[in-house]
Amino acid sequence: MMPADRPAADSPATMKSNPVLRICHLYPDLLNLYGDRGNIMVLAGRARRRGIEVTVTEAGLDDEIRPDGADLFFVGGGEDRQQRIAVGDLVGRKRGPLEAAVADGAVVLAVCGGYQLLGKFYRPAEGDDLPGLALLDLWTEHAGPSAPRLIGNLVIQPDGGEPPLVGFENHGGRTFLGPGARPLGRVVVGFGNNGTDHTEGAVAGRVYGTYLHGPLLPKNPAFADRLIREALSRRYPETALAPLPDTFEAQAREAMLTRLGARIP
Amino acid sequence: MSLNVRLSTAIALGKTAATLSRVLRRGGGTTMPGRVARAVEPNVVGLLARRLRGGTVLVAGTNGKTTTAHLIAHIMRAEGRRVVHNRAGANLAAGIASALVEHADLRGEPAGDLGIFEVDEATVPRVVPALAPRVAVFTNLFRDQLDRYGEIDYISGLWRAAGARLPAGFVRVANADDPLVYDAVREMPGTLVTYGLDDGRHALPALEHTAEARYCYRCGTPYEYAVTYFGHMGRYRCPTCGVARPDPDLVAREIELAGPDGAAFTVDAGPAGRARVTTRLPGLYNVYNILAAVGAALQLGAPLARAADAVGSFLPAFGRAERMTLDGREVQILLVKNPAGFNEVLRTILAGGPLPVVLIAINDLIADGRDVSWLWDVDFEMLAGRAARVVAGGLRAEDLAVRLEYAGIPAAAIEVERSYGAALDRALAHTTSRLFILPTYTAMLAIRAVLERRGVVGRFWE
């Protein structure tokens, strides 16, 4: 990790002092295709506006990460070439610490290419399957040279009555969930995981993967707060998040939902 | 039908479509004539282009195509050449065909001797065989409209493939400072002429977030940058495989930037000489455009001194730093398309100090790119504390407002107004000296239409 990381967080399970949200951005200069840094800005910005201290560390190729070094790990998307560069390091060097962090209650959010890397494997058009992190029970297949990319505005309805998530998708790979992962939501407008089964994204515990970018979090503030709450609860079970006005956010969501005819009661 | 009859029919019908399109006010008629003509004679581009006695020039790249092509046309007109040019920026195959049809008589004789065509990045392979360009200019490769193209690597792959189909003896003029461009063109056949900057005073302290090329295309090793100018433009080197920025044939030195008003610099063209250039085109990105244009003009026979003079009298193309006066206040439109260019535009308009207001209009139509996530790669943080107010316009005004607030601009200083006319009025109300308008492509056309109705600017195809 970069030296910006806080000194050893010898965190007891519960801390009463002022809470600190510790974010680790994986491969920020490699997997950053669709304004992905916006997700980090939103997590940090929303926490700071509640008076919560935030540290963001960046972990690139060859950087070591520690399971207790962050409470939220983020992986963005990249072009095929960048993903090929990242995957070896991710699986070879970072899998163990990430698995341990997840087992200890850390949150992982992965978008687009990062989402695919969290699965069990990627099946290219030709050749052997490429192993992934297997933090989520899913796999992704190359759809063949003539298959179109799945591109467009995307709205999904999460289970459990949470507000719909609004964003954009652009992916060639088709992702299929195994029994160990739930979808993040059902497709209302767009393609989702594979364009056929109406699922989008995947969740297992506190590990989240999705094709939603735009980026994901700026226009989905309730979901951003859920991630912040879960990440903080690893060390500060009592932290409450005061509401924020989210005026422009609400207008932006409303504008897109109206345009897409996706008004959800 | 004989070939000639079919070609004549194609031209006649194409010209009729152009007239109708304008009479019916369906736009400038910049693509429909080409579509009609190609339906009659699919090879209309090839048949007309080969009658241009001075050959054709192709201009490709993410940013700067329109300005570079206009510059080349301007320089060559000053040389006495009669130019056929898709000047309205319609740069797909139909737009190129339209320009050729419009500048030909019914027998297919062109009203010009030199073709200058800006070509959409992804259209390059499709038009290269027909245009058989004498000179091909490759400006830069940035992340742009990912929803349409997918990925940058896809574009550079297309260029590599197109290079194999370029005619023998052609010259490619390419940006040495862009590792993606240099890598895409360096193994093409023919002569390579490169251009680049050499002025450390304009270097950025570090590689920007918008840099696309951090890792060597060949071997995946991070490039080492001795100097970066903006985005991934700079003096790079791969420590593993040794690919490095070549010594350019045309170098810009002693660069003086005058904010949004223009720039001056010295072009060092080695054996072709040196010349001082003064231009109304602002920003480092336009220094690159001018180098590209001068590089192409030298290949077409223009002497350096006269090319440099011609650049001095060049007025910006529509929406590209174009200036006008409205109700006694000055208005300048600077097209924004992608994060690297946007950052350069922000640096340029802020060079003169804090601003009372900026109008930014973001659309998400196909020509803008339907995915606006790139707004989060733009360093709008530059505006915080330096623009007292931002009017957010366009179809995605609210998305822009969210981004601006996270950039540190107070919500109370952000006005969301989707109507172009109302956004313009709101911004003008706060304007003291000059209003900068930063629109995406279709927002630029829409705002220009408002300005046209107010009698300030001419139509974009004129």
Tens digits of residue pLDDT in A11-51: 444 455 789 999 999 999 888 888 999 999 999 999 999 99
Query: Which residue in this structure is represented by tokens 């109705």?
Result: B453
At residue B425, the 3 state secondary structure works out as helix
Residue A258 has φ and ψ, to the nearest 5°, of: -65, -45
CA quadruple B311, B313, B318, B321: dihedral positive or negative?
A: positive
Q: Retrieve residue B301's tokens.
A: 């026979």
Q: Categorize the per-residue pLDDT at B145 as very low, low, confident or very high, splitting at 50, 70 and 90.
A: low
How confident is the model at residue B430, as a pLDDT?
Answer: 95
Alpha carbon distance B19, B14 (integer Å) = 9
How confident is the model at residue B28, as a pLDDT?
Answer: 63
Contact B363, B441 (CB under 8 A): yes
B191-220: per-residue pLDDT in tens? 999 999 999 999 998 877 777 777 887 787
What H or E segment, with its residue span, contains residue B195?
strand B191-197
Q: Among A24, A25, A171, A213, which one carries the catalytic annotation?
A: A213
Please say if A112 is a catalytic residue. Answer: yes
If one counts every other C-beta atom within 10 angstroms of the C-beta of residue B429, the result is 11
Strand partners, A20: A53
Alpha carbon distance B66, B88 (integer Å) = 8
Q: What is the DSSP letter of B215?
A: B
How confident is the model at residue A33, as a pLDDT?
Answer: 82
Considering only A23-32, B63-72, B77-86, B450-459, which range has the smallest mean pLDDT?
A: B450-459
How confident is the model at residue A4, as a pLDDT?
Answer: 42
Alpha carbon distance B320, B341 (integer Å) = 12
For residues B374-385, average pLDDT: 96
pLDDT score of B22 more than 70: yes
For residues B49-64, average pLDDT: 94
How confident is the model at residue A264, as a pLDDT?
Answer: 60
Burial of B435 (0-12, 13-18, 19+ CB in 10 A): buried
Q: Categorize the per-residue pLDDT at A3 as very low, low, confident or very high, splitting at 50, 70 and 90.
A: very low
Q: Categorize the per-residue pLDDT at B444 as very low, low, confident or very high, splitting at 50, 70 and 90.
A: very high
pLDDT score of A166 more than 90: yes
User: B373, A35: Cβ pair inside 8 Å?
Assistant: yes
pLDDT score of A5 more than 50: no
Query: Which residue in this structure is represented by tokens 């964003």?
Result: A167
Q: Categorize the per-residue pLDDT at A1 as very low, low, confident or very high, splitting at 50, 70 and 90.
A: very low
Strands (DSSP E) found in B249-399: 250-257, 263-268, 274-279, 320-326, 329-334, 358-361, 390-393
B348-362: per-residue pLDDT in tens? 999 989 999 999 999
Q: Categorize the per-residue pLDDT at B221 as very low, low, confident or very high, splitting at 50, 70 and 90.
A: confident
A116 touches chain B (CB under 8 A): no
For residues B229-244, average pLDDT: 92
Helices (H), B360-453: 397-406, 420-430, 441-453
Query: Which residue in this structure is represented by tokens 């630029």?
Result: B444
How confident is the model at residue A16, as a pLDDT?
Answer: 54
DSSP A126-137: SSPPEE---SSS
Query: By a Cβ cutoff of 8 Å, what residues of chain B touch chain A?
Result: 143, 146-147, 150-153, 209, 211, 214-215, 217, 220, 370-377, 396, 398-399, 401-403, 405-406, 411, 414, 416
Query: For B207, which residue in chain A has the nearest alpha carbon?
Result: A29
pLDDT score of B382 more than 50: yes
At residue B383, the 3 state secondary structure works out as helix
Burial of B415 (0-12, 13-18, 19+ CB in 10 A): buried
Which among A80, A153, A218 has CB closest to B402? A218
User: What is the pLDDT of chain A when averaged over all its residues?
Assistant: 90
pLDDT score of B149 more than 60: no
User: B373, A34: Cβ pair inside 8 Å?
Assistant: yes
Considering only A226-235, B149-158, B296-305, B338-347, which range has the smallest mean pLDDT?
A: B149-158
Contact B48, B104 (CB under 8 A): yes
Alpha carbon of B407: minimum distance to chain A alpha carbons (Å): 9
Interface pTM (ipTM) of the complex? 0.92
* DSSP strand pairing (B56-60 vs B135-138): parallel
How confident is the model at residue B65, as a pLDDT?
Answer: 93
B402-431: per-residue pLDDT in tens? 999 999 999 999 999 999 999 999 999 999
User: A41, B372: Cβ pair inside 8 Å?
Assistant: no
Q: Retrieve residue A147's tokens.
A: 């298959």
From residue B401, give the alpha-carbon distance in Å to each of B380, B421, B440.
11, 18, 15
Q: Retrieve residue B178's tokens.
A: 């862009």
The domain ranges of chain A are 20-259
DSSP B336-353: --SHHHHHHHHHHHHTT-
Contact B114, B83 (CB under 8 A): yes
Alpha carbon distance A64, A140 (integer Å) = 27
Q: Mutate which of B143, B144, B149, B151 to disrupt the A interface (most A C-beta within 10 Å)?
A: B151
Contact B211, B157 (CB under 8 A): no
Sheet strands side by side (includes A130-131): A130-131, A121-123, A138-141, A174-177
Q: Categorize the per-residue pLDDT at A63 as very low, low, confident or very high, splitting at 50, 70 and 90.
A: very high
pLDDT score of B433 more than 70: yes
CATH of domain A20-259: 3.40.50.880
How confident is the model at residue B315, as a pLDDT?
Answer: 93
Q: Categorize the per-residue pLDDT at A9 as very low, low, confident or very high, splitting at 50, 70 and 90.
A: very low
DSSP chain A: --TTSPS-----S---SS-EEEEEEESTTTS-TTSTHHHHHHHHHHHHTTT-EEEEEEE-TT----TTS-SEEEE----HHHHHHHHHHIIIIIHHHHHHHHHTT-EEEEETHHHHHTSSEEE-SSSPPEE---SSSEEEE---TTSPPEEEEEEEE-TTSPPPEEEEEEESSEEEE-TT-B-SEEEEES-TTTSSS-EE-EEETTEEEES-BSSTTTT-HHHHHHHHHHHHHTT-TT--------HHHHHHHHHHHHHTT----
How confident is the model at residue B27, as a pLDDT?
Answer: 62
Q: Retrieve residue B324's tokens.
A: 């006008």
How confident is the model at residue B147, as a pLDDT?
Answer: 58
Residue-range domains of chain B with CATH:
51-93+112-312 (3.40.1190.10), 320-453 (3.90.190.20)
Contact A47, A19 (CB under 8 A): no
Considering only A177-191, B281-295, B309-323, which range has the smallest mean pLDDT?
A: B309-323
User: What is the pLDDT of chain B when averaged over all its residues?
Assistant: 91
pLDDT cut 90: percent of chain B above it: 69
User: A218, B406: Cβ pair inside 8 Å?
Assistant: yes
Closest CA relative to residue B341, chosen from B461, B212, B452, B447? B212
For residues A68-96, average pLDDT: 91
How confident is the model at residue B3, as a pLDDT?
Answer: 67
pLDDT cut 70: percent of chain B above it: 95
Contact B162, B128 (CB under 8 A): yes
Please say if A171 is a catalytic residue. Answer: no
Query: Which residue in this structure is represented by tokens 């979901």?
Result: A223
For residues A122-148, average pLDDT: 89
B74-98: per-residue pLDDT in tens? 999 999 999 999 988 888 888 999 9
How confident is the model at residue B26, as a pLDDT?
Answer: 63
Closest CA relative to residue B250, chosen from B228, B226, B274, B230? B274
From residue A153, give the alpha-carbon distance in Å to each of A147, A256, B101, B370, B443.
19, 9, 38, 8, 20
Closest CA relative to residue B132, chosen from B167, B97, B101? B167
Higher-confidence residue: A81 or B374?
A: B374
Alpha carbon distance B411, B417 (integer Å) = 14
How confident is the model at residue A6, as a pLDDT?
Answer: 42
Alpha carbon distance B318, A128 (integer Å) = 52
What H or E segment, with its residue span, contains residue B435?
strand B434-439
Q: How many CB pairs under 8 A join A and B?
A: 93
Q: Mutate which of B144, B232, B373 to disrupt the A interface (most A C-beta within 10 Å)?
A: B373
If one counts every other C-beta atom within 10 angstroms of the C-beta of residue A103, the result is 10
Q: Retrieve residue B1's tokens.
A: 């039908």
Alpha carbon distance B413, B26 (integer Å) = 37
